[in-house]
């Protein structure tokens, strides 16, 4: 929460970045969970030529990752240090993944990479701040 000064509420520096990072982690978690459900339930929508496993495996992996991302997004709002580290690591892995598939989905990949960079900035720059 912000401190009051002269009748005005002053926000903690970087609280907007933390809120952005938290909301984006939650949205990414929900998206991953939905993608996982779709991969398990309707695998005919996807090309079934995966390198390491079948779509059921990847669907379950993405559902689990989605749950962890939602938990981490909520924990970022509560200033949990582990959530900050998890968010930075997840976004770094996401950037690497989308650089590998940028040729297939250029606009989407650039958008996700840009959002991941902003999340990393918010978590790295303002995630360690204490409430004054």
Copy the structure tokens of residue 21.
Answer: 């990072």
What does the pLDDT average to over 7-23?
Answer: 77
> Mutual orientation of helices 81-100 and 15-41 as an angle, nearest 10°?
60
**Would you place residue 132 in the very low, low, confident or very high pLDDT band (cuts 50, 70, 90)?**
very low
pLDDT at residue 49 greater than cutoff 60: no
- The domain locations on the chain are 14-126
pLDDT at residue 114 greater than cutoff 90: yes
* Mean pLDDT taken over the chain: 81
Cα 115 to Cα 23: distance, rounded to the nearest angstrom: 11
Question: Each residue of 52-84: pLDDT tens digit?
Answer: 567 788 788 889 988 999 999 999 999 898 999
Cα 103 to Cα 123: distance, rounded to the nearest angstrom: 28
Residue 3 has phi, psi (to 5 degrees) of -95, 150
Query: What pLDDT score does 117 carry?
Result: 94
Q: Rg for the chain (alpha carbons), in Å?
A: 17
Query: What pLDDT score does 109 carry?
Result: 84
């Amino acid at each position: 929460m912000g401190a009051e000064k002269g009748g005005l509420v002053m926000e903690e520096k970087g609280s907007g970045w933390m809120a952005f990072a938290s909301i984006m982690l939650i949205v990414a978690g929900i998206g991953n969970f939905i993608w996982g459900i779709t991969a398990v339930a309707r695998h005919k929508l996807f090309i079934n030529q995966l390198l390491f496993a079948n779509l059921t495996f990847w669907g379950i992996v993405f559902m689990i990752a989605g749950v962890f991302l939602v938990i981490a997004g909520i924990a970022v709002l509560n200033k949990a240090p582990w959530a900050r580290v998890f968010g930075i690591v997840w976004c770094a892995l996401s950037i690497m993944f989308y650089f590998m598939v940028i040729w297939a989905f250029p606009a989407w990949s650039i958008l996700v990479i840009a959002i991941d960079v902003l999340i990393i900035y918010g978590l790295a720059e303002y995630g360690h701040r204490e409430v004054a």
